[in-house]
Chains A and B, each alone.
Chain A
Amino acid sequence: MTFLERPWYFLRSGAANLVHAPVLTVITVLTVGISLVLVGFLAFLLIEADRLLEETTGGFQMTVYLEPDLSVQEGEELAAVVLEQWPEVSRAVVFSAPQDFERNKALLPPEVLQGLEEDLIPAQPYMEVTTDIRKLHGEKLEQMVTWFRSLEQVDGVDEILMGSEKLRVAFTLLESFRFVAGVIAIVVVFAALFFVLATIRLSAHARREEIDVMLLVGATRTFVRVPFYIEGMLAGLFGGALAYTVVWALENRITAQLRAEGLLGVSIDLLPAGMGFALLGGGVVLGLLGAVLGVGRYLRLSR
């Protein structure tokens, strides 16, 4: 057999297996396709939820008010400690008392400013700490809040303001959503896996006579298995292609809808770079896994 003849033989046999039970094949392809769309959609929602949280909250911010007599240099040393201690902190900037004064002054409406003596406007050095919300999952937020609370005992630190309550609620909701999405994704993937497995097992069962004869005339188990693996991978590939088509159609429809609503500036990207590869690759992996599980036990029983 030449270099390409054996792969071609396997491909032919695998494709023939698919055609052998068309109804089951269609159900498998549909299941794989739908499961990939659902899993992809859940992943998209989770990513978007993180992004939305970051955008709406502007990140988790804390303001550490420093004692008035603390110099900017001493404040920056404290900021360096914060940055070193917490990789989750994306920014720790120290502002002097005059900068605080200017900021507060800018916040006040002109009518309030008129007649207000300048020494009544608060002016105190402070440090603004911004954290990356996406890194604050789990117990990290609580640990950070506790650590910053302990800073209040440090000399030179006056008071710490942090709006962590809303974030806690948002995190709780997000975690619940993440858990539910994970469970749904697992169930959906297992359903797809089950259909691939059942298809391959039925296919192997339909070909049991052929398998027996092949084994009797000297076929190795690998030689017998490979066409079934190809069958699974092909079913998965078609499922992945179906998922890609569905997502592509969905994106087109949403974009058309947004245009119809006059929202020309708004765009939605359901198929970012690599998504096609992920859907097709995911389908192939799912198909292969189902085939390995489906044909493995069947062949162990044959001699």
Chain B
Amino acid sequence: MILFTRVAKRYPQGVEALNGVTLHLDKGSFLFVTGPSGAGKTTLVKMILGIERPTEGSVIVAGRNVSALRGSAVPYLRRNIGVVFQDFKLLESYTVHQNIALGLEILGWSRRDIRTRVGQLLERLGLERLATHRPREISGGEKQRVAIARAMVNNPPILVADEPTGSVDPDLAVEIMDLLVDAQRKGTTVLVATHNLGLIERYDLPLLYLERGQVVEGWPGAPGRGVA
């Protein structure tokens, strides 16, 4: 589902964000990506989304070679990927319902089908009463749940989360992680970039540790963990 082969990313100023990264995620698998700030976690996420292209190596996501993907094909790649950001990226002028429905409108779903699907998700995530609220009227945890709902609304085969628990308290972080793990159990490939070590320790799931753009094998912080 996601395949990185000896991927390097160098920016024009000479900054090396990734160097020789290889990883392989099958359908329905889960991977934590961690490491200190500047390790290359966000660059890795951006490559999966087709925002960045590798300088060397190849990136294949949902059967598409991101390295050689034409600009006009990127939207179709992204329709296979649900994405959750630390800063939620919810639209303030939209209601909770509209924020979640956005992806379906882009895909051309009918209004009736959108209503039904968004209704189901709101109920599943306990957000029904907030459907008509604007993001500024809800809490941080609720915002992140809305962001997850938006990412999952079209049942994408891949879910990518960049620091999804960065802005929430520990209890809420667990709640959010449970949602992501639940999605993985239902067959979604999930990649979570985080530096929340407490959270990583809580879940016995495969881990990739990055430092200065390189994969660190056998990271001592998580002995015995499966590494992608």
Question: Which residues of A come within 8 Å of B, CB atoms?
Answer: 1-2, 5-6, 9, 209-210, 212-221, 223, 303
Contact = CB atoms under 8 A, between A and B. Distances in A.
Given A216-B49, A217-B102, A210 B93 contact: yes
Nearest to A223: B106
Contact of B107 (A215, A218, A303): A218
Interface in B72-106: 72, 74-76, 78-79, 83, 89, 91, 93, 102-103, 105-106
B119 to A, nearest CB: 18
Mostly helix, strand, loop or mixed at chain B's interface? helix
B89 A218 contact: no
A6 B106 CA distance: 9
B107 A213 contact: no
Contact of B79 (A5, A218, A221): A218
Contacts of B68: none
Mostly helix, strand, loop or mixed at chain A's interface? helix
Interface in B54-78: 72, 74-76, 78
Interface string B101-124: 011011111110000000000000
Given A9-B105, A209-B89, A303-B51, A216 B83 contact: yes
B150 interface: yes
A219 B91 contact: no
A230 to B, nearest CB: 15
Contacts of B93: 210
A22 to B, nearest CB: 15
Contacts of A213: 89, 91, 102
A9 B104 CA distance: 12
- Count chain B CB atoms within 10 A of each CB in A2, A209, A218, A219 and give the residue with the most: A218
B75 A220 contact: yes
Contacts of A218: 75-76, 78-79, 103, 106-107
A219 B77 CA distance: 10
A217 B74 CA distance: 10
B110 to A, nearest CB: 5
Interface in B30-49: 49
